[in-house]
Amino acid sequence: MIPFNKPSIVGRELAYMQAAVETGKISGNGVFTGQCHHFFEQHFGFYKSLLTHSGTGALEMAALLLNIQPGDEVIMPTYTFVSTANAFLLRGAHIVFVDSAPDHPNMDVHAIEPLITERTKCIVVMHYGGYAVDMQVVLDLSVRYRLFIIEDAAHGIGARYNGLPLGSIGHLAAFSFHETKNVQCGEGGMLVVNDERFSHRAEVVWEKGTNRAAFARKETDTYHWIDIGSSFLPSELTAAYLLGQTEHFESICLRRRAIWEQYSANLQFGPANSWFTLLPETPGSVHNHHIVAIICRSASERESLIRHLDSLGIMAVSHYRCLHDSPYYKGRHDGRKLSNAKHFEDCLLRLPIYHDLTEAQVEEITKAIYSFYSRKS
Ligand SMILES: *Cc1c(COP(=O)(O)O)cnc(C)c1O
């Protein structure tokens, strides 16, 4: 069976976990956490990064830092992971969902402006598959309407927009290091602070509303409860594993790129490619080969293709169900039809991509797709 995803050990993950145990400190904010922060800040120029136990946790920190209150409106794509929305709903926000672009799962940035009201507090963008949202349009709205911008960059480590790393553009950004992401530690994430006004408070919220991080740096003699917060830190075991991955960041990127390019060369078959389409590039974007996705012609065709691949031992999977008409949110949505996103919900299919996937396996997968379509048409 070729699984959809498989987390790989690429370097010293296990040795570092053992070293963490041997230091006698495995709770959060130790040496390994510090080294991870250093890596991300140096490598991507983030003003400040804070590891979290999950990407979800990083999004929750962002909502806390923006002081989201009941009744505030938050604009975000409907085609995204539940945590993008939950983080703000937990603070009492009302979510205003935006459709995808016609040809890309990313949100249609031109549909945002009519949705802005007096109560709008922020816009959350999600860079699908590491393909950048057109941030210039979003930043212009941010300035004109005085809105905060949060990047859900969970897919986007290493990807760029007009030369800037994803996650360095919004006021705050969230990354995920879940085992399905390019760089991973099982469960993990990171809040990135790009606006220094949030920097001090981010550390406090991270450490249960206390100034314990400053205390650990010996900036104060005792530590106190000074604000609201929660426990967002990962253990040093997690940070140690993650550090092992960061040391091989370049080779992780190169391996994924090779796999992605092999797929995209192989998937050029079909009469002028009328069988399915590949995700198009987005303006200004250099993506990070996080996802290999094809857009099938219909939901039923996608289901047959999934079954065909499964019968050959290949696991391919659909992706998000639109949040605006989910069982939880349906009754709260304002009724706008978000039909582009529904199209991706129905027709988008993700193929296996992970560090240890071999060239021969990519051949096998693309042949299986070819056999499905050539038999059908
Ligand atoms: C993976 C992911 C997250 C965060 O997931 P965690 O499992 O909490 O790390 C958030 N948003 C998107 C779009 C994701 O894909």
Q: 295: helix, coil or strand? A: strand
Residue nearest atom 9 in ligand 1 by C-alpha distance: 55
Name the burial class of residue 337, with classes exposed (0-12), middle (13-18) and buried (19+) by CB atoms within 10 angstroms of its CB.
exposed
Confidence of residue 270 (pLDDT cuts 50, 70, 90): low
Q: Which of 153-157, 219-223, 240-244, 303-307 has the lowest mean pLDDT?
A: 219-223
**Mutation to probe ligand 1, out of 151, 178, 232, 320 (largest number of atoms < 8 A from CB):** 178
Q: Which atom of ligand 1 is nearest to the CA of 155?
A: 15
Q: How confident is the prediction for the chain on average, in pLDDT?
A: 97
- Could you report the per-residue pLDDT of 137-149, keeping only the tens digit for each? 999 999 999 999 9
Count H helices, E strands: the chain? Answer: 12, 15
Which residue type does 311 have? Answer: S
- Could you report the per-residue pLDDT of 11-33, keeping only the tens digit for each? 999 999 999 999 999 999 999 99
pTM above 0.95, yes or no: yes
Q: Which atom of ligand 1 is nearest to the CA of 84?
A: 11
Q: How big is the chain, counted in residues?
A: 377
What spacing in Å lies between the alpha carbon of 222 and ligand 1's midpoint? 35
Q: Which atom of ligand 1 is nearest to the CA of 187?
A: 9
Q: What is the average pLDDT across 202-231?
A: 95
State if residue 178 touches ligand 1 by the CB under 6 angstroms criterion.
yes
What spacing in Å lies between the alpha carbon of 323 and ligand 1's midpoint? 14
What spacing in Å lies between the alpha carbon of 207 and ligand 1's midpoint? 21
